[in-house]
Structure 1
Amino acid sequence: MAIGTRDTEKPLRILQLIPSLEAGGAERACLDIAAALSAEGGTSWVFSEGGRMADELSTLGGVLVKRAAATKNPARIIAHGFAIAALARSHAIDIIHARSRAPAWSGLIAAKLTGLPYVTTFHGFYGAQNSLKRLYNSVMIRGDRVIAGSQFMASHIHDTYHCPHDRIALIPRGIDTDRFDPARIDAQAVHALRQKWGASPAQKVILLPGRLTRWKGQGLLLDAVARLNDPALFTVMVGDPQGREGYVSELKTQIDRLGLANAVHIAGHVDDMPTAYQAADIIVSASTDAEAFGRVPVEAMAMGKPIVAADHGGASETLRGAEGQAAFGTLFTPGDAAALAAALQQIPALPAPEMATAARAYVIANYSTQSMCRRTLALYRSLCAAGRAT
């Protein structure tokens, strides 16, 4: 795409495209970038259906452009492309950045119409079972730069979609290490939350954070806990079902069938996740499909909590650390309830304080929001300075 001359010293004006702002890692990254842009005098417009995070976006200095951005209707995707192009022209946008496939097609159209640099971020592994699906997914490699949140994801993008290495930008996802700081959590709030969940002071709480969807592994964790048959354990699942009430009913049926009605609590969406982590004794990431990055292990590490995670995807990469060993958590074979149960049994009653300190230090050094935002904004500026896409 041809890119006109821009003043790379002026504050950046970025248009991000994302289906909704309900909850999730892509949504959080979108808001983090909006906040970083605002902090240096720039602005992020966000083309999205909106959601519970829309007010926070506004507070952070972002501007919501409310549209049905999740649509897969070809006519509406094309219409959105022209609308995004018009928006980009009227607000002198510097970069269009797409974070999901459906709006990415609209963004691609707009980038071609305007000549603006186009960035995409792979926030997940997309099914590529047939040629039609691969074609649909391919929009995510049509950016001037394609952001991968982990080395595992970068390899997947190159190997599956044959995207050249020089167009893939490895920018690890980041978390707010000030917010996810055990020293900042109120002990009374922790006590109240455990009571709300129904866990007794003597019980060890196992926490699985993540959207209530099958591939996040809630059912797998229930099977593992049932195998342990330990009354000292209490399991909590936090996450938004996002309309999957049928799946929630399945989980409740599974809980009753396994005799875990008094040992499991489905909490739904939780705003104060740092307090939820602090209220737990063990954090679990049981995703049956590989995570592109996996915030849960990193958030758990920042909170100094023991983490048990499926050994694949971004989670495997972050927990192994620089030396390639499982230095910061316990890994288990994905999809294997017996292996998960065995991993849970390996967690000591009193984790070593030095391990918690080392894990938090590793997150601060490698996976902070500040680092992610700094590198993303530098990527934006490099594209603006180039004068044309490479």
Structure 2
Amino acid sequence: MKKKIAFVVWTLADMGGSERVVYDIVRNLGKNRYSSIVVGFEDGPFRALYENLGIKTYCISKSKKIDADFVKQFRGILTDEQVEIVNPHHFSPLVYSFLATRFTPIKLIYTEHSRWQLEQLPPVKKVANRLMLGNVEGVVAISEQIEDYYLKNLRIPKNRVHLIPNGIDVEAFRNARSDGLREKLGIGPNETVIGVVANIRPEKNLKLLVSAFSDLAKE
């Protein structure tokens, strides 16, 4: 019998790094062993991407910070779909997934994508985070920095922390064309190019990257 997994993301309105990870996972999940649904808390056009794959997708709207009806509706979806594993990505989806699966046999496996966001949590949320992660089946760190934070700062037992670096589907870029791109951008044929792909958000710290390149250029 297939295990059913519910992947939980905050938004279906855009495709950031964590949303891309979830999308790649559901596309490549072994269909003979697993089936999946996606739950989001903000609807949007990217919902269609999952539905085009035949993945059932739910969006639950929240009227206030802690909404009992929201949690009840979320739990109802998990129960009706006979979900066995819930995999939330980021802190807020963790909170609602934790509440929705409390006192149920559903296993909760949490994935964190940003150490910076963990460090910026207010003290009360840091305490809540520690308590919740002490009661989940496992946690996934997408980088060594996050793994280190789990082990040293939150003191989560090592056997429940799993380091799984984000993968990139290189086949998606196999046929990309770059003819004339250097000339178009004013880059010489022998000049070294360093590229970065990221959302322009504070936690990406692109300002530091630009500053570092500026210092290197002076040397």
- Which stretch of the first structure deviates more once superposed, 53-62 or 14-23? 53-62
Aligned CA-pair RMSD: 2.9
Which residue matches 1:124? Answer: 114
Once residues 183 and 71 of structure 2 are traced to their aligned partners in structure 1, the CA distance between those partners, rounded to angstroms, is: 48
Amino acid at match of 1:95: I
Q: Does the alignment pair 1:211 with 2:84?
A: no
SS for the counterpart of 1:16 is strand
1:33 to 18, 25, 32: 25
SS for the counterpart of 1:102 is helix
Give CA deviations for 1:361-387 in whole Å, capped at 9, x if unaligned: xxxxxxxxxxxxxxxxxxxxxxxxxxx
SS for the counterpart of 1:209 is coil
Once residues 35 and 114 of structure 2 are traced to their aligned partners in structure 1, the CA distance between those partners, rounded to angstroms, is: 26
Give CA deviations for 1:152-200 in whole Å, capped at 9, x if unaligned: 321211111111111112222211121244xx22244x63x974xxx23
2:186 to 200, 204, 213: 200
Which residue matches 1:340? Answer: 213
Structure 2: gaps spanning 5 or more residues: none
Which residue matches 1:109? Answer: 99
Whether contact under 8 Å (1:120, 1:141) holds in the other structure is no
Aligned length: 212
Correspondence 1:99-178 to 2 at 5 A: 99-125=89-115, 126-127=118-119, 131-138=123-130, 139-178=132-171
Structure 1: gaps spanning 5 or more residues: 1-9, 225-336, 347-390
Q: Does the alignment pair 1:50 with 2:40?
A: no
Q: In the superposition, relative to structure 1, how do residues 96 and 186 fare at CA in structure 2: closer, same or farther (>3 Å)?
A: same
Give CA deviations for 1:280-333 in whole Å, capped at 9, x if unaligned: xxxxxxxxxxxxxxxxxxxxxxxxxxxxxxxxxxxxxxxxxxxxxxxxxxxxxx
Whether contact under 8 Å (2:84, 2:105) holds in the other structure is no
SS for the counterpart of 2:43 is coil
Which residue matches 1:88? Answer: 78
Q: In the superposition, relative to structure 1, how do residues 129 and 83 fare at CA in structure 2: closer, same or farther (>3 Å)?
A: closer
Q: In the superposition, relative to structure 1, how do residues 217 and 122 fare at CA in structure 2: closer, same or farther (>3 Å)?
A: closer
Whether contact under 8 Å (1:81, 1:108) holds in the other structure is no
2:54 to 58, 61, 64: 61
* Structure 1 position 86, deviation (Å): 1.1
Amino acid at match of 2:50: L
Structure 1 length-normalised TM: 0.48
Higher Rg of the two aligned structures: 1
Whether contact under 8 Å (1:89, 1:114) holds in the other structure is no
* Structure 1 position 50, deviation (Å): 3.5
Once residues 208 and 25 of structure 1 are traced to their aligned partners in structure 2, the CA distance between those partners, rounded to angstroms, is: 13
Which residue matches 1:360? Answer: none
Q: Does the alignment pair 1:15 with 2:15?
A: no
Correspondence 1:244-259 to 2 at 5 A: none
